[in-house]
Structure formats: structure tokens, C-alpha cells
């Protein structure tokens, strides 16, 4: 009688212990499981900003944010980023009538700007679907950029962009792809037409915000232009590091 009681108690303790091991097993032990597919490593320690800043409610794709962080981290390790507290994301999965440029201060954990940004006129109408690195294509180029210096051009203060992805956006400088202000990229146009105007491939932004945004991101920060484009994700060496 006493032996059966002790056996039942021992069995109960063993069951609880096994359950605890299953519940609290490390994420690493899930490798190869279904859960692994939904698990995104966070080598930057910044992924929590997505929730803290309410970026999902603003429309920013979580996938875009994850790619941006990991690419920023890769470029930082390569010594290509000088202004490492600033990360800019242009999410082309959003239509042009929505505010799809996000400028984030990773150090302060603060969203500095969220505004409109154009795509190239040959990339598509409302949502861009065609992208090119070719001269005179009038299309946008996806991928990772490092911001350069500024100059005063026909659109006022403009910001040069160094494309960091071979065969994807590395012709940005020779194509004259820059960040600049434009009257066709403002809220009034978006409200009247449901979308903003298109550029010759440049990420044009509202004229009244162009100088403060450019001053914030110039000289060595990371800009990521995202689209859920299968060809880009397959070809990009930086995107491959994120998978």
C-alpha cells in the first residue's frame, strides 16, 4: 500500500519535470522544428523597437524592419557606416499615398520622421513592382545604401547615396539617385490624388522636410529600400545574410 503511494508520487514528480523541460527548453534546441521558421534571431538587440515605437500600427512591415536591422549590422561590421545611430527604411510594400519613409534613432529609441517618399515613374503606379540598376531606366533600386554628402541642385539640398549591393543599386551615384525634396511628394498631393507623384528613380520627399531629414541622415548612415520582391531577396548578398 505504501509502495504504490510512493510510486504514484514519484511518477507525478517525473511528469512535472519532463513538462518543465519541454516548456523551458532553449530556443536553440528548436532548430529544425516548425517553431524555428517563426523565430527571427536578433543580433542587433534592437528588434524590440518595432513594438515600442508602434511601427506596425504605422504600416511598416516587420520583415522590412528585420532585414533593415540585420543589413545595418552587417554594414556596421564592415566599417561602412559612420553614423550608426540612424537607420532609415523606405518600405515599398506600402502604396505611395501612405507615409512609408521611417527615420529611426536606434540609440535613443525614437522615431524621428515618418513621411512620404516617391518611387521611379517606370517602377509602377501606386505600389512599385519593377526595379532597375540601369542608367535612364527611371526606376527605383532596392537594397542597402550608405548616405554621402550633400550638394545644392535643381531640387535644392540633395543627398548623394552610395549603393552597397553589386548589380542591384551600385550605379546609384552614376545614375544621380539622390534624396531630394519635391512638391509632388507632399501630403496635399496624397490627399487629393490618393498617391504622390513619381520621380526618375530618386526617393523624393516633401519639400518642407527635405533639409531636416537630409541633415539628420547625411554622412554615413544606413538607408534600406525594401520591397517583398523575390528577385531582389534571391540576388542580394546582404539579404542572404538575414535568412
The answer to whether the CB of 202 falls within 8 A of the CB of 181 is no
Query: Residue 94 and residue 109: Cα distance in Å, rounded?
Result: 23
Averaged pLDDT in 10-residue chunks for the chain of 243 residues: 46 43 35 35 84 98 95 96 98 98 98 98 98 98 98 96 98 98 97 97 98 98 97 88 57
Q: What is each CA distance from 25 to 20, 38, 45, in whole angstroms?
A: 8, 16, 21
Q: What is the DSSP string of 64-131?
A: HHHHHHHHHHHHHHTT--S-TTEEEEEETTS-TTS--EEEEETTTTEEEEEE----BTTS-SSS---B
Give the three cell numbers for residue 156: 535644392
At 41 the pLDDT is 60
Per-residue confidence (pLDDT) for residue 26, from 0 to 100: 37
Distances in Å between the Cα of 58 and the Cα atoms of 17, 55, 113 are 44, 5, 12
**How much is the CA Rg of the chain, to the nearest whole Å?**
23
Looking at residue 158, the DSSP 8-state letter turns out to be E
Q: Is 165 helix (H, G, I), strand (E, B) or coil?
A: coil
Is pTM beyond 0.75? Reply is yes
The edge-to-edge listing of strands for the beta sheet with 110-115 is: 110-115, 101-105, 86-91, 222-226, 143-153, 156-163, 178-182, 204-206
For residue 45, what pLDDT is reported? 84
At 54, give phi and psi (nearest 5°): 65, 35
- Which residues lie below 8 Å from residue 196, measured CB to CB, with a gap of 6+? 96, 97, 116, 118, 184, 185, 186, 189, 190
Any long-range contacts for 170-176 (C-beta under 8 Å, 24+ apart)?
A: 170/133, 171/133, 171/134, 171/135, 171/141, 172/141, 172/145, 173/148, 174/135, 175/133, 175/135, 175/141, 175/201, 176/202
Q: Can you say whether the dihedral through the CA atoms of 210, 215, 219, 225 is positive or negative?
A: negative
Query: Whole-angstrom Cα distance, residue 131 to residue 59?
Result: 22
From CA 174, how far away is CA 130, in angstroms rounded? 20
pLDDT in the model for residue 30 = 29
Amino acid at each position: 500500500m505504501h509502495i504504490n503511494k510512493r510510486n504514484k508520487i514519484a511518477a507525478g514528480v517525473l511528469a512535472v519535470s519532463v513538462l518543465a523541460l519541454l516548456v523551458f527548453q532553449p530556443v536553440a534546441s528548436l532548430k529544425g522544428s516548425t517553431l524555428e521558421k517563426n523565430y527571427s534571431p536578433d543580433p542587433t538587440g534592437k528588434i524590440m523597437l518595432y513594438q515600442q515605437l508602434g511601427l506596425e500600427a504605422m504600416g511598416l512591415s516587420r520583415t522590412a524592419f528585420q532585414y533593415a536591422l540585420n543589413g545595418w549590422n552587417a554594414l556596421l561590421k564592415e566599417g561602412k557606416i559612420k553614423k550608426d545611430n540612424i537607420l532609415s527604411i523606405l518600405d515599398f510594400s506600402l502604396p505611395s499615398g501612405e507615409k512609408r519613409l521611417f527615420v529611426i534613432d536606434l540609440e535613443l529609441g525614437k522615431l524621428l520622421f515618418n513621411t512620404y517618399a516617391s518611387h521611379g515613374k517606370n517602377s509602377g503606379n501606386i505600389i512599385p513592382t519593377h526595379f532597375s540598376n540601369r542608367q535612364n531606366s527611371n526606376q527605383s533600386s532596392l537594397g542597402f545604401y550608405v548616405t554621402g554628402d550633400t550638394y545644392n541642385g535643381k531640387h535644392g539640398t540633395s543627398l548623394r547615396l552610395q549603393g552597397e549591393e553589386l548589380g542591384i543599386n551600385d550605379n546609384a551615384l552614376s545614375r544621380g539617385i539622390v534624396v531630394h525634396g519635391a512638391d509632388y511628394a507632399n501630403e496635399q498631393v496624397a490627399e487629393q490624388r490618393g498617391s504622390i507623384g513619381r520621380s526618375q528613380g530618386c526617393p523624393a520627399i516633401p519639400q518642407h522636410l527635405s533639409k531636416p531629414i537630409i541633415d539628420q541622415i547625411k554622412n554615413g548612415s544606413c538607408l534600406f529600400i525594401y520591397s517583398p520582391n523575390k528577385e531582389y531577396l534571391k540576388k542580394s548578398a546582404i539579404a542572404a545574410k538575414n535568412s
